[in-house]
Amino acid sequence: MRLYNTRGDVDYYRIQVLDEDFKPLKFAIDSGQSNTVNVRFRKFKTVSIYVPSEQSSRVVYICSKSLILRSNQTGSVLSSRICSKVNR
C-alpha cells in the first residue's frame, strides 16, 4: 500500500483490513505492531501489510483513515477514510 499525505494538519493514518461485510481482519504492518502509520506533510510512505494465510482469502478492502493530533483547539475536525477494493 502506498500512502500520500497532502494535508498539513494530518501526521498519522490508521490502516484497516476488512472483509466483504466491512468487518476487521487481523493483520500486521511493517512499521511494528501498531496499525497507525506516521506520514509527514507531502510525503509518500510505502506500507507492507501482512495478513495471516488462513484469513488472506477473506480480504476485500484496505482502508486508511487520517488522524489529527489533539490540540487545544475546539470545534470540528475533518477526518477521512479511504477504502480500496483488493483485486483478485
Sorting pLDDT into bands at 50, 70 and 90, what band is 88? confident
The residues, ordered by sequence, that sit 6+ positions from 82 with a Cβ below 8 Å of its Cβ are: 63, 64, 65
**Residue 17 near residue 53, CB atoms below 8 Å:** no
Which cell goes with 54? Answer: 488462513
Residue ranges of the domains in the chain? 2-70+80-84
Question: At 64, is the secondary structure helix, strand, or coil?
Answer: strand
pLDDT in tens, 7-57: 777 778 888 999 999 999 999 888 665 677 777 666 777 888 899 999 999
**pTM to 2 decimal places:** 0.75
